[in-house]
């Protein structure tokens, strides 16, 4: 009898471990879109950014406020099972890390929530952490306020609050060369990453594949790969069971 009870307890424990975790629920405003991954980048009210893959990504627009039920994927992004539009916002505030400051194009490439995306930048940069220059540099941790009245987010305020020695970027491979790889990020700019001796890229990687890299940021802004992972989530048009819209055009100032 004792052995039977122990066996039943063990089976129950295995069953509990095999049960998938409940989907996470969160709300956020769309601040960017990633067509390559069929995803939207959502900024929550507390500044948290999440990349959410959704079958409805084409119909979602920058500035829409949405409620999401989603499962966390192993790459840190989410797969939505339902998306509900609840209104619109004219601005958002979130944390990010600078990948590139493209002054000629007046834009910033930033990394947040597992995505790398572009922000039009006509802001006056402000430094909170001690630094000689207010110009955002690769690796800078920033708090950014963006306007959402157009088809893409525009930075209206950028405050530098710290600096990271390594960051994560993702994009589509455009060039593979000895000692480097080039990515196009968010259809906005090219980023070249140096590959140290002995560094191994994912097997079978080729031009036009998606690639995520953790990179070291040099004092001169040079990016050097530390680790790499190919994107194995292909963003198919499955998984969104609920698509109720209630876009009441609310404006949160």
pLDDT in tens, 214-223: 999 988 889 9
Q: What is the mean pLDDT of residues 2-9?
A: 40
Dihedral (Cα; 111, 116, 117, 120), 10-degree rounding: 40
Give per-residue pLDDT as tens, 78-127.
Answer: 999 999 999 999 999 999 999 988 777 788 899 999 899 999 887 655 54
Residue 153, SS3 per DSSP: coil
Q: What is the mean pLDDT of residues 33-41?
A: 88
Q: What is the mean pLDDT of residues 17-24?
A: 50
Give per-residue pLDDT as tens, 147-160.
Answer: 998 888 999 999 99
CB 14 within 8 A of CB 4: no
In whole angstroms, what is the distance from residue 110 CA to residue 233 CA? 22
Give per-residue pLDDT as tens, 168-186.
Answer: 998 899 999 999 999 988 7
Q: How far is CA 233 from CA 74, 117, 150, in A?
A: 10, 18, 29
With a cut of 90, say whether residue 135 has pLDDT above it: no
Q: What is the mean pLDDT of residues 33-51?
A: 92
Residue 65 tokens read as 């406020």
CB 173 within 8 A of CB 183: yes
Of the candidate ranges 38-42, 58-62, 103-107, the one whose mean pLDDT is the lowest: 103-107
Residue 234 burial by Cβ neighbours in a 10 Å radius (0-12, 13-18, 19+): exposed
Q: Which residue has the higher pLDDT, 176 or 6?
A: 176
Query: In this predicted structure, what is the pLDDT of residue 232?
Result: 59
In whole angstroms, what is the distance from residue 195 CA to residue 181 CA? 7
- % of the chain residues with pLDDT over 90: 53
pTM equals: 0.77
State the pLDDT confidence band at 24, using cuts at 50, 70 and 90: confident
Query: In this predicted structure, what is the pLDDT of residue 246?
Result: 53
In whole angstroms, what is the distance from residue 190 CA to residue 172 CA? 10
């Amino acid at each position: 009898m004792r052995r039977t009870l122990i066996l039943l307890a063990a089976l129950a424990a295995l069953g509990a471990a095999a049960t998938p975790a409940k989907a996470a629920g969160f709300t956020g405003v769309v601040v960017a879109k990633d067509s390559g991954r069929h995803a939207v980048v959502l900024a929550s009210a507390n500044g948290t950014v999440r990349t959410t893959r959704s079958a409805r990504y084409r119909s979602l627009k920058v500035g829409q406020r949405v409620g999401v039920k989603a499962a966390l994927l192993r790459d840190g992004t989410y797969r939505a099972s339902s998306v509900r539009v609840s209104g619109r916002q004219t601005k958002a505030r979130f944390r990010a890390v600078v990948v590139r400051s493209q002054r000629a194009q007046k834009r910033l490439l930033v990394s947040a929530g597992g995505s790398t995306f572009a922000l039009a930048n006509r802001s006056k940069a402000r430094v909170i952490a001690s630094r000689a220059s207010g110009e955002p540099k690769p690796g800078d941790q920033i708090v950014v306020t963006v306007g959402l009245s157009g088809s893409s987010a525009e930075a209206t305020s950028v405050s530098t609050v710290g600096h990271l020695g390594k960051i994560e970027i993702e994009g589509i491979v455009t060039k593979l060369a000895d000692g480097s790889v080039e990515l196009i990020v968010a259809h906005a700019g090219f980023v070249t990453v140096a590959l140290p001796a002995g560094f191994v890229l994912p097997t079978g990687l080729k031009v036009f594949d998606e690639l995520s890299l953790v990179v070291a940021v040099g004092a001169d802004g040079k990016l050097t790969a530390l680790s790499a992972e190919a994107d194995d989530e292909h963003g198919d048009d499955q998984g969104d069971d609920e698509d109720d819209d209630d876009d009441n055009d609310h404006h949160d100032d």
